[in-house]
Amino acid sequence: MTQIEQLGPEIGERGSAPAAPPGAVVQARNEVRLVGRLSAQPEVRRLPSGDELVNLRLVVARDPLEVVPVGSAQRRRPTVDTLDCTAWSAATRATAVGLAPGDVLEVTGALRRRFYRAGAATLSRYDVEVAHVRRLAAPEDDGATAGRAATGDGVAGC
């Protein structure tokens, strides 16, 4: 077992890992796990290449202990983040289109930087590329759908 694997179980209560010991090899990782509420109907888009994708907009509450004051103390701090998530694979797209606004979701994937042209300028934005999506609860859920994907009884993308 490598030194970095030994550090894994020691991740702190708030999700921060201790500093790697001198000489340890640290493997870079791009992993995202979000739990939040779907804010709008999933949007199906077809690209000029013919590829199809589904965009999801997820509203995730911020941990009140992690909010850092910005500017004057009179200014109201954000309590949520709204994050764009994109489903590319057939399985995640199929699940995503079956979701409804207000559903509570667990989304795992990776953070991606996308480049696009707007007039003469090249711009970029970040989104979460969805690897797995699971509905945890529907609005006014009786618990019957908790833990099931929107279509079928599994987790899409697995």
What is the tens place of the pLDDT at every residue in 34-73? 999 999 999 999 999 999 999 999 999 987 766 566 665 5
Read off the tokens for 143. Answer: 């618990």
Q: Cβ contacts of residue 86 below 8 Å, gap of 6+?
A: 53, 54, 55, 56, 112, 127, 128, 129, 130
Residue 69 maps to a domain: no
Flag whether pLDDT at 13 surpasses 90.
no
| 145/128 Cα distance (integer angstroms) | 24
Flag whether pLDDT at 153 surpasses 50.
no
Q: Identify whether the C-beta of residue 100 lies closer than 8 Å to the C-beta of residue 41.
A: yes
Residue 33 maps to a domain: yes
Residue 109 maps to a domain: yes
pTM of structure: 0.69
Residue 22 maps to a domain: no
Q: Identify whether the C-beta of residue 121 lies closer than 8 Å to the C-beta of residue 60.
A: no
Q: What is the mean pLDDT of residues 23-30?
A: 87
Flag whether pLDDT at 77 surpasses 50.
yes
133: containing domain: 29-64+76-148
Domains identified in the chain, total number: 1
Across the chain, mean pLDDT equals 80
The CATH number that applies at residue 56 is: 2.40.50.140
